Structure 1
Amino acid sequence: MILIGGKSYELLKDHKNGWNPEAFRDRYSEVLDRYDYIVGDWGYNQLRLKGFYRDKHPKATKDTAFSGMVDYINEYCNFGCAYFVIQKNRDAQPPKEKEKPEKHEKTDKPEKTERPEKPERPDKPERSEKSDKPEKQHEKSDKPEKQHEKSDKPEKAKSGPH
């Protein structure tokens, strides 16, 4: 019996001494918690892990059902490689149910964190204030006329010395 990540597993098959508990613990990932079976195969001195569901599991597909494990070994593993198959004990499944409410609590948090900032949008009124600024620019356009008048005087001064 193997205990990892709060789950217990049982070694079903150890082909060519493929089972290495230390290597398994090093490569194990929480992603594999959802599967009923884990196959570990060795290629180029590296352990590769693949999860499979029991055949009647609702999420099981042709590629992820335990009945497709032999096809996986024949098609995706190196020919004649060492491998092992472990099965999750069904006793380990009730803790998943305990974890699920925690996950729901986590999903509740995003609902609480929905920001009402989108309806408020203080940026839009500021933009309307910016639209007031172009009106001020029209006022500024009056000022350039005055500046134009002032610019006439220097021109006269320029035309005088010629």
Structure 2
Amino acid sequence: MTRTHRLALGLATALTAPLATAPAVAADSPLGYVNMSGAVADMENWDNGLSGVLGLGFPLDNVDPNFSIEGELSKSLFAPESDGAGNIDYFTLGGFAAYRMPVTDSVALRGRAGLVHLDWESNRAADDELGIGVGVGATWRLEGNFDLLGELTIMDTDPDLNHFSVGVQYWLD
């Protein structure tokens, strides 16, 4: 197992441990949610690419009913490109504290901040980086437990990575 894989495994364990030990909530509260999105990946000094983003969140009702913790994984699907440097393939693992602010019965704004691990590889180099991630977005209730989710996540890594994502959020009962 390489140093990068050990670091990614350690980071994933550290980020998901709080999710696994999240306190139980009242029976009428949602257990959590799953985010599934496609993202335009804007990476510093590279052309845009496309990524898949999968997230899992747990509300912390004992803190605030609108506060939650999230774990997130993203993977480049169509890698960002650069003239002369080829493609850059990457994945990220992140852990965030998120806050949801309802505006109406069906619309809510959301913000989040946390740590992100970026692991990337191009034709010329490879590296991994730990950085800060912040995001702003909104949800719109579609039907039942489904919300439409739109979000901009800015990751202060080297190279910097921004995701503009659109997808669905499914609330678990």
Alignment TM-score > 0.5, same fold: no
Higher helix content, 1 or 2: 1
Which structure would you say has the larger Rg? 1
- TM-score after normalising by structure 2: 0.26
- TM-score after normalising by structure 1: 0.27
